[in-house]
């Protein structure tokens, strides 16, 4: 018996009840004038992340209006931005997107070739992908998975410790302790894509550079610092509306257990080098924000950070040195931020790597823009400046 689909059941439908979904549907009657709004983070005024599904629009030109975009957290992020779309949730391509500042609206225009399509602010990195990443990493003899806490929504906070014991190369010097965290801001999903690349190369036992790093250092990685916000479809905060990257001076179990758990463990292991992976809404480039401008920053630490940036630029042309945040940008918030708190606490190089939501304008890609794949490759490239830093540390 064949199934006949009536027009009523094949009408255009928009939904977001899935991992990291975020949209309010206001009007869908006319495909050329679909009206949507982005939901705010819980107990917060932050919003910019969106992720939703459109069904029943095959071969129909769509005009999707995000009517509250002009009130978003980072309005400077909309000019020259293009949304991503996917049919299979694996390949995410860029689609025509316009920001109309006079109306305060972001307009996404696309004609789907298939009956089901997803749109998002950036390619999502789902909780299931995160669990797969943890599970796959654990299969390496170099990697241990540690449960270091529970979030406010009851999700696990996991840490990967990557290390090896090689008697033939162990030296009298103690190993360096290197920490990498990602996705304090959950909507910055490129951070976990980058962490995936970093982890994969670090665990590659055929990669001589990775193995040399592990001869000199133990690596601690938290691939997703904010599981609750990631699953809820937040831009910047956890379940209770706390911006984790403003909680480092005085985290609490009630408000920011994620930061408290990581900070407590750092104080046990010590930190010799710290990298925090993020995304930036406005700047169309990859850059590192170090501790320049922080009070009492030792010159030796500043030199190490500058050398790290230069070494990364030498191995990956997707990274640049000319643009970034001005020194002193964060003012009184400075030491509530992970990189500044860690740098002061441990007197070490401590840096924030920022990737774009937009395309990288020096090496644009008309089809995909800045993408998960390029984020992964940038993560792989981080091993090169880490190796150079370790060589210099061991020669002191």
HSE, CB side, 13 Å, CA atoms: give it for residue 218.
14
Is residue 354 part of the annotated active site? The answer reads yes
Asked if 213 and 227 count as a contact pair (C-beta separation under 8 A), the reply is no
167: how many CB neighbours lie within 10 A of its CB? 5
CA distance 300 to 308: 12
Of these residues, 90, 354, 373, 380, which one is catalytic? 354
Query: Would you put residue 162 in left (φ > 0), alpha (ψ -120 to 50) or beta?
Result: beta
Q: Which residues are catalytic?
A: 354
């Amino acid at each position: 018996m064949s199934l006949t689909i009536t027009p009523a059941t094949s009408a255009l439908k928009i939904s977001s009840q899935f991992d990291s979904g975020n949209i309010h549907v206001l009007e869908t009657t006319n495909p050329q004038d679909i009206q949507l709004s982005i939901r705010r983070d819980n107990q917060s005024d932050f919003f910019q992340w969106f992720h939703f599904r459109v069904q029943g629009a095959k071969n129909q030109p769509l005009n999707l209006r995000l009517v509250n975009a002009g009130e978003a957290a980072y309005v400077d992020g909309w000019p020259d931005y293009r949304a991503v779309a996917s049919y299979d949730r694996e390949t995410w391509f860029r689609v025509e997107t316009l920001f109309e500042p006079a109306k305060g609206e972001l307009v996404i225009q696309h004609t789907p070739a298939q009956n089901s399509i997803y749109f998002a602010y950036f390619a999502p990195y789902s909780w299931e992908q995160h669990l797969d990443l943890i599970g796959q990493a654990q299969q390496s003899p170099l990697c241990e998975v540690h449960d270091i806490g529970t979030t406010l929504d009851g999700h696990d906070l996991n840490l990967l410790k990557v290390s090896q014991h090689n008697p033939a190369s162990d030296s009298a010097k103690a190993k360096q302790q290197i920490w990498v965290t990602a996705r304090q801001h959950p909507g910055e999903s490129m951070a976990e894509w980058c962490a995936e690349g970093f982890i994969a190369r670090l665990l590659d036992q055929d990669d001589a550079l990775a193995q040399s790093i592990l001869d000199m250092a133990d690596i601690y990685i938290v691939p997703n610092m904010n599981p609750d916000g990631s699953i809820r479809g937040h831009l910047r905060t956890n379940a209770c509306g706390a911006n984790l990257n403003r909680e480092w001076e005085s985290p609490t179990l009630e408000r920011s257990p994620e930061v408290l758990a990581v900070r407590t463990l750092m104080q046990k292991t010590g930190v010799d080098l710290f990298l925090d992976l993020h995304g930036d809404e406005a700047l169309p480039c990859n850059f590192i924000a170090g501790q320049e401008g922080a009070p009492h920053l030792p010159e030796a630490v500043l030199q190490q950070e500058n050398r790290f940036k230069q070494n990364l630029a030498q191995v990956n042309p997707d990274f640049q040195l000319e643009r970034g945040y001005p020194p002193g940008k964060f003012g009184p918030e400075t030491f509530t931020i992970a990189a500044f708190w860690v740098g002061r606490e441990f007197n070490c190089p401590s840096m924030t790597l920022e990737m774009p939501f937009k395309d990288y304008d020096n090496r644009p890609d008309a089809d995909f823009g800045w993408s998960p794949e390029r984020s992964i490759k940038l993560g792989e490239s981080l091993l090169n400046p880490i190796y150079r830093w370790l060589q210099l540390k061991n020669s002191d």
